[in-house]
């Protein structure tokens, strides 16, 4: 899943739950499957309003329906709820949510470099020749790594690949500028604690 797809999935997930009545529907369906009419009665809403809320939840994959005679019985898709929350909110996926944002430091130079060398999906499009600009991009990529956690080179490459295919240049640059440290002989990499 690309960074933009992850952002869109998170937005759909949170928009689906960003309504008091939809949260109540999730709570009711967590207890037992129910028809539109039963949910409408429990919420004090019209059947059409309840159907609208169910459609929004179904679009995000949180509820599913099965036909039962003349009625549809809705169920909470707990596996989808668990999967979305676990995958989308994993710590290593969170930095991708900032794609297109300006530098947290608010530094105008950093912001200018990011706009010039990072596309809307958060990928580094080119490496600048100027060292100061390259360092901005290295810090941007290095922030993905949890300080103090040790990463094997293969995992470092997988993470850096989301920024640019030239993972070796990013890896070497981060080590050279002290943003990452490395054990010799192809050992682990880690971001210093401070």
One DSSP character per residue, 95-129 reads GGGGTTPPPTT--HHHHHHHHHHB-TTS-B----S
pLDDT in tens, 106-164: 678 888 898 899 988 889 999 999 999 999 999 999 988 888 899 999 999 999 999 99
Q: Looking at the chain, which residues constitute the CATH 1.10.10.10 domain(s)?
A: 3-85
Q: Is 162:171 a contact under the CB 8 Å cutoff?
A: no
> Within 10 Å of residue 156's Cβ, how many Cβ atoms?
21
How far, in Å, CA of 163 to CA of 155, rounded? 14
Would the pLDDT of 73 be above 90?
yes
Residue found under tokens 């530094």:
107
Whether the full predicted model's pTM is greater than 0.85, yes or no, is: no
- Range 3-85 classified under CATH 1.10.10.10: yes
Q: Burial of 128 by CB count in 10 Å (0-12 exposed, 13-18 middle, 19+ buried)? A: middle
Residue found under tokens 């036909």:
67
pLDDT > 70 fraction of the chain, expressed in percent and rounded: 86
How far, in Å, CA of 30 to CA of 117, rounded? 46
pLDDT in tens, 4-59: 676 777 777 788 888 899 999 999 999 999 999 999 999 999 999 999 999 999 98
pLDDT at 101: 52
């Amino acid at each position: 899943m690309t960074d933009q797809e992850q952002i869109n999935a998170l937005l759909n997930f949170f928009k689906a739950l960003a309504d008091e009545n939809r949260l109540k529907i999730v709570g009711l369906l967590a207890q037992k499957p129910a028809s539109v009419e039963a949910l409408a009665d429990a919420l004090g809403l019209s059947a059409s309003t309840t159907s609208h809320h169910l459609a929004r939840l179904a679009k995000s994959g949180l509820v599913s329906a099965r036909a039962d005679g003349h009625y549809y019985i809705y169920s909470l898709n707990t596996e989808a709820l668990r999967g979305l929350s676990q995958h989308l909110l994993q710590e290593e996926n969170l930095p991708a949510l900032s794609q297109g944002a300006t530098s947290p430091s608010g530094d105008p130079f950093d912001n200018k470099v990011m706009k010039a060398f990072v596309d809307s999906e958060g990928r580094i499009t080119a490496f600048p020749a100027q060292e100061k600009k390259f360092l901005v991009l290295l810090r941007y990529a290095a922030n993905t790594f949890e300080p103090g956690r040790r990463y094997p080179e293969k995992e470092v490459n997988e993470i850096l690949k989301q920024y640019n295919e030239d993972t070796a240049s990013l890896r070497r640059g981060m080590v050279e500028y002290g943003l990452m440290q490395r054990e010799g002989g192809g050992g682990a990499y880690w971001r210093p604690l401070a």
